[in-house]
Amino acid sequence: MAKKKAPETGAKRVNNPNVMGLRPEVLEQPITETLELNYMPYAMSVIVSRAIPEIDGFKPSHRKLLYTMYQMKLLGGARTKSANVVGQTMKLNPHGDAAIYDTMVRLSRGYGALLHPLVDSKGNFGKVYSRDMAWAASRYTEVRLDPICAELFKDIDQDAVDFVDNYDGKMKEPALLPTTFPNVLVSANQGIAVGMASNLCGFNLGEVCDATIAYLKNPKTDLLSILKAPDFPTGGQLLYDESALRQIYQTGRGSVQVRAKWRYLKSENLIEIVEIPYSTTLEAIMDKVSELIKTGKIKEIADMRDETDLNGLKITIDLKRGTDPDKLMARLFKSTPLQDAYSCNFNILIQGMPRVMGVGEILEEWTAWRLDGVRRRSYFAMKKKEEKYHLLQGLKKILLDIDRAIRIIRETEEDAEVVPNLMIGFGIDQAQAEFVADIKLRNINKEYILRRTQETDTLAEEIADLKDLVDSPQRLKKVIISELQAVKKKYAVPRRTEILYDFVEPSAVVVEDEVPDYPVHVFLSREGYFKKITPQSLRMASEQKYKEGDGPYLQWEGSNRDELLVFTDKQQCYKTRLSDFGDTKASVLGEFLPTRLGMDSGENVVWACITSDYSGHVFFFFENGKVARVELAAYKTQTRRKRLTGAYSDKSPLAAALLLQEDEELALFSSEGRCLIFHTASLTPKTTRTTLGVQVMTLKPKYHLEKVSPLAGTTIVNVARYRAKSLPAAGMLLREEDRGEEQLSLL
């Protein structure tokens, strides 16, 4: 086999034998070259030809589908099977029928994803607010273009936009659709490309038209005063935040908060949710509420069911007796997708280049593009009238001597010589002569010719008016404004999403009163079994039950509202609330914390504490004699995370830990039998959880820090003997009288 010459790019040729005995040639290619030659063209194709919408508000898939339906005479005509449209669209869109039908579904009235649907549908097209409701196959449903599509194709046959070849070069399709209103701001659109994305929310058509008209009259208009806020097809209530909206209007990025619309039926003691945020589904909401009910975080709900029917969405929540519906909904807004954020990313293709733009920039680009479209349309109409005027001018010359024209035609022997002879006889050009020659015999009379030539005066005026229009940007703007006013009058509908100017943030709702507040006694065994017992139950039976080989480790007195922090031998901290545990009795083993908290395999509890306000300091004592003082507030998080990694240093095993609200003296005991007493005020607090600490007790090789105890809890008599004058210190060997029967340990 002849070998090819290696390319000059530095690629290497490698011959690998295969099972057939052949030695195919394999070329190694640098990764940078692969990205440039293979990946970058793909990325650009996805950005430019698939995922990012253009200034008309459409992606290529939308545009190809709608134009195909327009060509099929489905604007104002009868519906046809969706499968027919899908098949015809494949002439322009070289993707599978499933992808094309999915595009049709999203544009349909039945699905409800757009404020102004573009496809008038019949049959089951699913619902945008449902995750599980599947739409019927294309052979069962029927479609046609919605009447508003007349505004998308109004000037398409008047050279208002460019036409390009389809993928196989056999057909022409519009590069953009000549929309008479800023559809890019009306129709919601979302797309994920390579390295970038686009997420356009919809606005109310009437407000968009008013804002565009105001912008055309004065580009410095405050758009927020006219274009109030986004409008979503699923309704809901938008929480008005002027600063957030101004950021979106100026930069094209930001988010708005939308919550569900609900009503309380006092007679039946139930809540009906009738509108939900556009960014979620009713199944996601019900799943989250069910999870809260199962975990005991929501106890006021007796039953919940989906009652969605032909009248629209409805989620019904039956309440338990005595439940405050406002407080319950405030908690649900905070903990479920009943209140959700819609993120905006106004990324649009402008002349093939993706740009993230604010609303003002989008209107600037749209008006410039629309001005060009109206100018092209007017120029096209002017040229048509000029052609007609030119032909009538030739006919006017014939009027002077009709008999002569007839004689020239009759005396011409060959058909091909008729036009040249008329051109010579009357001094007209070929187009005029062709027009005269094609006049029917019955129309060769003065009345017909006089009537036609009288049109020249009107045509001349119209041509002059169109020429002035083409050359006058101000007149072009007036045409656009009149079209916008007509669109608003014909198609505008009231807002679907209500704007809430005065509202209470869910995070501002005090939820502590929802958790019962009563005193509890908390016990933790050495092996990690946890019990929460009320004082009444403890008085009835105080003897604790433990597994064989297990025993008491830590115990506290606190409130049911306190939080529990559990530290493990994997330097992790698990956080939970005491209210998440049920009240129990001393006669039971309790709950096994590693299982309850979802700890990793082989992970064990080494220490724990409870807190109500994260005050105080945690002291970590390591076997190498170092002590780390960390503010307990370092473990407080705004998002109520259940697990924190890097809870303390992993440079040495943990010997003990203490939570102290005030500084005091502590006694440290080593495995050598030495004791050291020091005051915690000598240690500086750290906010970093993984701090290595400072050396407090110096240890000889093979010895380690073994026990820690508050000085008041020891049997030490000769306190001065063991008190350190400076740190670090080795401590002193314990005397017999200071040993006591048993030293206290936290391990």
CATH code at 286? 3.30.1360.40
Per the listing, tokens 């945008």 go with 128
Residue 524 sits at φ, ψ, to 5 deg, of -130, 125
Which amino acid appears at position 608 of this protein? A
Residues 555 and 681 in one domain: yes
Residue 70 sits at φ, ψ, to 5 deg, of -65, -40
> For position 436, what pLDDT does the model report?
82
- For residue 222, tell me if it sits in a domain: no
- For residue 428, tell me if it sits in a domain: yes
Domain boundary among 129, 157, 179: 179
> For position 529, what pLDDT does the model report?
92
pLDDT at 747 over 50: no
CB atoms under 10 Å from CB of 289, counted, come to: 20
Which residues neighbour 544 within 8 Å (Cβ) at sequence distance 6 or greater?
523, 531, 552, 586
| Mean pLDDT to the nearest integer, 428-432 | 89
Closest CA to 477 of 375, 383, 376: 375
C-alpha 607: how far from chain center? 41
C-alpha 705: how far from chain center? 53
Which strand ranges, in their side-by-side order, compose the sheet holding 315-319?
261-265, 270-275, 315-319, 301-306
Residues 681 and 554 in one domain: yes
Q: Of 2-6, 30-34, 398-402, 557-561, give the lowest mean pLDDT range.
A: 2-6
- For residue 480, tell me if it sits in a domain: yes
> For position 639, what pLDDT does the model report?
67
Strands 498-500 and 237-239: parallel
Closest CA to 676 of 732, 597, 741, 612: 732
CB atoms under 10 Å from CB of 152, counted, come to: 26
> For position 299, what pLDDT does the model report?
85
Q: pLDDT digit string (tens) for 493-512?
A: 999 999 999 876 665 554 44
Residues 56 and 127 in one domain: yes
pLDDT at 445 over 80: no
pLDDT at 5 over 70: no
Residues 563 and 614 in one domain: yes
> For position 512, what pLDDT does the model report?
46
Average pLDDT, the chain: 88
Which residues neighbour 681 within 8 Å (Cβ) at sequence distance 6 or greater?
663
Give SS3 for 163: strand
Q: pLDDT digit string (tens) for 69-79?
A: 999 999 988 99
DSSP state letter for 697: B
Residue 142, domain CATH: 3.90.199.10
Q: How far apart are CA 621 and CA 382, in angstroms?
A: 91
Residues 575 and 637 in one domain: yes
Q: pLDDT digit string (tens) for 116-167?
A: 999 999 999 999 999 999 999 999 999 999 999 999 999 899 999 999 999 9
> For position 11, what pLDDT does the model report?
45
Percentage with pLDDT > 90 across the chain:
60
- For residue 375, tell me if it sits in a domain: yes
Closest CA to 542 of 550, 530, 534: 534
Work out how many domains the chain is built from and give that number: 4
Residue 16 sits at φ, ψ, to 5 deg, of -115, 120
Per the listing, tokens 């500084």 go with 663
CB environment 270-281: b (16+ within 10 A), e (fewer): bbebbbbbbbbb
Q: Of 52-61, 370-379, 584-593, give the lowest mean pLDDT range.
A: 584-593
Residues 86 and 131 in one domain: yes
- For residue 233, tell me if it sits in a domain: no
Q: pLDDT digit string (tens) for 293-308?
A: 888 888 889 999 999 9
Domain boundary among 130, 152, 179: 179
Q: pLDDT digit string (tens) for 655-703?
A: 999 999 999 999 999 999 999 999 999 999 988 899 999 999 999 999 9
Domain coverage including residue 430: 365-491
Residues 467 and 524 in one domain: no
Domain boundary among 153, 179, 205: 179
Q: pLDDT digit string (tens) for 592-621?
A: 999 888 888 889 999 999 998 899 999 999
Residue 610, domain CATH: 2.120.10.90
Residues 547 and 458 in one domain: no
CA geometry: angle at 463 spanning 461 and 464, to 5°? 65
> For position 507, what pLDDT does the model report?
54
Residue 436, domain CATH: 1.10.268.10
Q: For residues 501 and 194, is the Cβ–Cβ distance under 8 A?
A: no
Residues 311 and 397 in one domain: no
pLDDT at 4 over 50: no
Q: For residues 441 and 402, is the Cβ–Cβ distance under 8 A?
A: no
Q: Of 12-21, 47-56, 463-472, 565-574, give the lowest mean pLDDT range.
A: 12-21
Q: For residues 509 and 331, is the Cβ–Cβ distance under 8 A?
A: yes
User: What does 286-323 look like in DSSP terms, one character per residue?
Assistant: HHHHHHHHHTTS--SEEEEEE--BTTB--EEEEEPTT-
Catalytic residues: 140
Residue 135 sits at φ, ψ, to 5 deg, of -85, 160
pLDDT at 255 over 70: yes
Q: How far apart are CA 128 and CA 90, in angstroms?
A: 25
Q: For residues 51 and 192, is the Cβ–Cβ distance under 8 A?
A: yes
Q: How far apart are CA 666 and CA 642, in angstroms?
A: 31
Q: For residues 12 and 6, is the Cβ–Cβ distance under 8 A?
A: yes
Give SS3 for 48: helix
Closest CA to 415 of 432, 434, 396: 434
- For residue 380, tell me if it sits in a domain: yes
pLDDT at 424 over 90: no
pLDDT band, residue 50 (cuts 50/70/90) = confident
Residues 272 and 322 in one domain: yes
CA geometry: angle at 224 spanning 222 and 230, to 5°? 150
Q: How far apart are CA 621 and CA 691, in angstroms?
A: 12
pLDDT at 561 over 90: no
- For residue 588, tell me if it sits in a domain: yes
| Mean pLDDT to the nearest integer, 167-173 | 92
pLDDT band, residue 514 (cuts 50/70/90) = low
| Burial environment of residue 567 by CB neighbours within 10 A (0 to 12, 13 to 18, 19 or more) | buried
pLDDT at 223 over 50: yes
CB environment 490-508: b (16+ within 10 A), e (fewer): ebbeebbbeeeeebeebee
Q: pLDDT digit string (tens) for 368-391?
A: 999 999 999 999 999 999 998 998
pLDDT at 745 over 90: no
Residues 693 and 546 in one domain: yes
Residues 171 and 312 in one domain: no
pLDDT band, residue 714 (cuts 50/70/90) = confident
Q: Of 174-178, 190-194, 207-211, give the lowest mean pLDDT range.
A: 190-194
pLDDT at 91 over 60: yes
- For residue 235, tell me if it sits in a domain: no
